[in-house]
Chains A and B, each alone.
Chain A
Amino acid sequence: DAGVIQSPRHEVTEMGQEVTLRCKPISGHNSLFWYRQTMMRGLELLIYFNNNVPIDDSGMPEDRFSAKMPNASFSTLKIQPSEPRDSAVYFCASSFRLAEEGSYEQYFGPGTRLTVT
């Protein structure tokens, strides 16, 4: 079975440009998470969705960041305009949430390495 799929794997862009990162969760999973990993700040949760609805976006750095999940098999994280400090690896993860017990492990994609010059 395919795992979490992210595209592109690498993105290099200039400051001020719009960047869109894409994620396809594991089929059947109903929760999706966006993380950012940097050397300075480690692994940070940006936002997560359950059944395509944003549940917690308290980790989104600022209004330049937005995330959508139009259906159960696709999500995007957009940065507009991008800045050099947004350079990081962005991970998407998915899990299956049991109504009675909550969800357990998250399955991570390979990440998108973003470089903003």
Chain B
Amino acid sequence: AQSVTQLGSHVSVSEGALVLLRCNYSSSVPPYLFWYVQYPNQGLQLLLKYTSAATLVKGINGFEAEFKKSETSFHLTKPSAHMSDAAEYFCAVKKLNFGNEKLTFGTGTRLTIIP
């Protein structure tokens, strides 16, 4: 069964510093991969997605992620953290086959920005 592992349930970075949130997937074939963000008391919002096109994916709010098949990773980065980036981030995977709509989410990483 496919799954995602997010390393680090809590990450703290200083404002202006690099943000790196880690996600590794397990799948026999490269899947579709997603990063979602959840602000307090809100639903999840899509940040970016990988669907077997370009391996470097750019998303909203200055975030990007790189798909690395050799490492089975899809880490999320942002060059310079902003206070508004404080939220919980979820990596998700979907099997690359027609008919399967299910997303499997990681356990989430709570990002704290230090002023």
Contacts and interface: CB of A to CB of B under 8 A. Distances in A.
Interface string A1-29: 00010000000000000000000000000
B105 A42 contact: yes
Given A42-B108, A43-B90, A105-B34, A91 B101 contact: no
A102 B43 contact: no
A50 B101 contact: yes
Interface in A82-105: 91, 93, 95, 97, 100-105
A48 B101 contact: yes
Contacts of B103: 33, 45, 106
Interface string B85-103: 0000010000001111111
Given A91-B44, A108-B44, A109-B43, A31 B108 contact: no
B46 interface: yes
Interface residues of A, number: 26
B12 interface: no
Query: For the complex, would chain A's binding face be called helix, strand, loop or mixed by DSSP majority?
Result: strand
Contact of B99 (A93, A102, A106): A102
Contact of B49 (A45, A93, A104): A104
Contacts of A74: none
A94 to B, nearest CB: 11
Contacts of A109: 43
A55 B101 contact: yes
B49 A102 contact: no
A110 B101 CA distance: 21
Contacts of B42: 110-111
Nearest to A44: B105
Contacts of B34: 105
A108 B45 contact: yes
Contact of B51 (A91, A104, A106, A107): A104
Given A50-B101, A56-B102, 11 more contacts: A95-B101, A97-B101, A102-B97, A102-B98, A102-B99, A102-B100, A104-B51, A106-B46, A106-B103, A110-B41, A110-B42
Interface of A: 4, 31, 33, 42-43, 45, 48, 50, 55-56, 91, 93, 95, 97, 100-111
